[in-house]
Structure 1
Amino acid sequence: MDRLLHLDRTLDELDLPCWTPPPPDATRLVRKVHELRRVPLGELGPADLRTLISQQVALPYVLPLAVRLLLKEPLLDAYFYEGDLLLAAVNAPASAWALLPGLGARLCTVITTLPAAAVADLPRGAAEELALFAARPEPPRSGSVH
């Protein structure tokens, strides 16, 4: 989780190129994402992380922040419902997780220890999404033998 060393920096500073301002007719969501790119990483809350992950923005920087929260509280209610941050994270593209060796494995461990009753209380299809994520093979680490 070495990307957490930059908690005082913004996504516009770390995830180049810096984004231009949104167009005047941009949707509320687009304006929100642009605004979040100018917030220091350490000030992003769970709802902000869920928004950025759901929109697939700067995933190498925001996924570690989300996992840090999820390791403590897997079914954290970020904004919409209990477990929404977890479901946003597991639905991030496999290519993003491949850039973060070991982080996905830590999240899998959390997922596999969730009580069945808690998973059953999540929205329809959530149990399947969690199972698919947990079943993903861990990408090989650089320098490993195949």
Structure 2
Amino acid sequence: MPRTVVRIKRPCRICRRWFTPNPRLKDRQKTCGDALCKREWHRKKCSAWNKENTDYYRTNYLQKKLDEATESKKTSKTHPVKSRLNTGLPHGFVQEVIGIQHLVIIEYFGQLLFGRFQEVLRGKVIVNTEQISVLPHLAFSRSDRL
């Protein structure tokens, strides 16, 4: 006897349109067959995974940078490690003084602190309490005008 499969329609999790799921996917199909819905669902799930697993990329990034620094140290000492932070420091000199691996770790901590600082500032509401379009003449006078 052939089994009769009851196909129950369900709403797409993105566009909310009702669809009949593919019988091979059964309960695993969350979106309709539209490519935009699939892409949006994938984007949402990847974003959720990245938020839950932030340490995964942090450890991989730091280890990759340390490995690159060690390899560049073995090949030549003339090229300083490339930095994402524009600090204005002479990286070659700092690298000679404290070492490549220490420099990479310090820059990594700097990036983390900078990111946390930006998160805190994004959460704050900046309110301009006074509007000053022109400086007052008497309060801020130049000393060369007497």
- Name the TM tier (shorter chain): under 0.3
The structure number with the bigger radius of gyration is 2
Higher helix proportion, which one?
1
- Report the TM-score, using the length of structure 2 for normalisation: 0.23
